[in-house]
Structure formats: structure tokens, C-alpha cells
């Protein structure tokens, strides 16, 4: 079974993020949930992003990285899968590209250019990227789709999955954006990934 470090999105460590972690735990995986917002949870994405801006996105990311580094190479030294929802992709992807503990990466609702954290994606570190095909944050505003396509083109260890719809945080069951059908399919793919 895998050991996963799961980083929350811009609204904080919501009940939906916790529920997703519990689903992975029910499948037998160990899941750590660093709180990059120090207990703060926000009702809207805009409020959460304002908090991240006020504290500094780098500060928020570094809180997550510090929490993950305290885990070392995971239980038994078997490595860690770094996973993140949207904002949480920042620490997850950086650790996946730079940490010797990286066993894999799950990038949900976001993808950063690989060049931000190194020259190329590390060999032997499989990665999945998941998003909705019409999500404006993924498709238009942030250029995440371009980054994801470039990642997939650069390594045989990368997969990109796009789901019908336009919601951003569709995997968070505590938010109005939740899409049960898409999340069920995503979860199946994630669990298959964690088995490998």
C-alpha cells in the first residue's frame, strides 16, 4: 500500500478534502494531510485565495513542504506519493520533482511547468494530472493544460485525464462544484495508480 501526502486547495482543509483522504485510507493507504492554512478554512475560493495572497503563496507552499519533509522517506523508507488539489499542486509537484522520497505524484485541478522545479520530470516517478476539460482555471487562466500536455509529451511516466464539465474543485464533496460521477472515475484511476 502507498503512503500519500495530500495537500489541500485554496479553501483549506475542508470536509471534502478530508473525505477524499478517508476514501484512500479505506482502500488501505496511509494518508497525511498537512494544514498549510494553520486551521483556517474558507467558504469561497476567492476568500481562500485572498488568505494565500496575504500570507504569500511561497509561505503557504513552504508550510506544506516542511510538513512533508518531516516524514522523511515514509514508513519503512518506501517513499511517498505527493498529491495536491489545485493550490496544493505547488508543494506536491515541487516535492515530486526534487525529493528523493518521491514515489509518485497526483496533480488534481492543476499542473505547473516542469521548468519551475527542474530541467525535466524525474525518471521513475509516475504522475497523473486530473482536471475538467472546460475548467477556466485549468484551461484558460493559468495555462495548466499547456503545462500538463508538455509534461505528458516529455515522459512516458505521465498521464493526463480530462473529465466533462467546467468545475474547478469538482472532487471536493463539501463544495457546490462537486461532481460525483467525475470524482468516482477519478478515484478509481487514483486507486489503480496507488496500487502500482
The answer to whether the CB of 86 falls within 8 A of the CB of 110 is: yes
In the predicted structure, residue 115 carries a pLDDT above the cut 70:
yes
pLDDT of residue 181: 98
Q: What is the CATH number of the domain that holds 142?
A: 3.40.50.1820
pLDDT of residue 143: 87
CB-hemisphere CA count at 13 Å for 83?
24
54-63, 67-76, 112-121, 126-135: which has the minimum mean pLDDT?
67-76
- Give me the pLDDT at residue 110, please: 96
Mean pLDDT of 155-179: 97
pLDDT band at 27 (very low <50, low <70, confident <90, very high): very high
DSSP code for 115? G
pLDDT of 108 > 80? The answer is yes
Is the predicted pLDDT of residue 142 greater than 70, yes or no?
no
What count of other Cβ atoms lies within 10 Å of the Cβ of residue 178?
A: 16
Distance CA 10, CA 143 (A): 18
Counting every residue written for the chain, the total comes to 196
pLDDT of 72: 84
Is the confidence at residue 100, as pLDDT, over 70? yes
Bridge pairing between strands 158-163 and 80-85: unpaired
pLDDT band at 73 (very low <50, low <70, confident <90, very high): confident
Euclidean distance between CA atoms 138 and 133, whole angstroms? 8
Of the candidates 80, 111, 109, 112, the residue with the CA atom closest to the CA atom of residue 96: 80
The residue ranges of DSSP E strands in 22-78, in sequence order, are: 30-32
Taking residues 137-141, what's their average pLDDT?
Answer: 84
Q: How far apart are CA 178 and CA 152, in angstroms?
A: 26
Q: At what angle do helices 57-69 and 89-98 cross, to 10 degrees?
A: 50
Q: Contact 79/7 with Cβ under 8 angstroms?
A: no
Number of domains within the chain: 1
Domain hosting 99: range is 3-195
Residue 46: pLDDT band with limits 50, 70, 90: very high
Residue-level pLDDT at 96: 97
Exposure string (b/e) for 54-69, b if CB count within 10 Å is 16 or more? eeeeeebbebbbebbe
Amino acid at each position: 500500500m502507498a503512503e500519500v501526502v495530500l495537500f489541500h486547495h485554496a479553501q483549506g482543509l475542508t470536509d471534502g478534502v478530508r473525505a477524499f483522504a478517508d476514501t484512500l485510507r479505506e482502500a488501505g493507504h496511509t494518508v497525511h494531510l498537512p494544514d498549510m492554512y494553520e486551521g483556517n478554512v474558507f467558504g469561497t475560493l476567492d476568500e481562500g485565495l485572498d488568505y494565500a495572497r496575504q500570507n504569500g503563496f511561497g509561505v503557504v507552499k513552504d508550510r506544506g513542504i516542511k510538513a512533508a519533509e518531516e516524514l522523511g522517506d515514509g514508513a519503512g523508507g518506501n517513499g511517498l506519493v505527493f498529491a495536491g488539489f489545485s493550490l496544493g499542486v505547488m508543494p506536491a509537484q515541487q516535492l515530486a520533482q526534487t525529493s528523493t522520497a518521491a514515489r509518485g505524484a497526483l496533480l488534481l485541478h492543476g499542473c505547473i511547468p516542469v521548468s519551475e522545479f527542474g530541467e525535466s520530470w524525474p525518471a521513475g516517478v509516475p504522475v497523473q494530472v486530473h482536471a475538467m476539460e472546460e475548467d477556466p482555471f485549468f484551461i484558460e487562466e493559468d495555462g495548466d493544460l499547456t503545462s500538463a500536455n508538455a509534461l505528458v509529451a516529455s515522459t512516458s511516466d505521465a498521464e493526463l485525464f480530462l473529465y466533462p464539465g467546467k468545475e474547478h474543485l469538482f472532487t471536493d464533496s463539501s463544495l457546490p462544484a462537486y461532481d460525483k460521477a467525475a470524482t468516482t472515475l477519478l478515484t478509481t484511476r487514483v486507486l489503480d495508480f496507488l496500487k502500482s
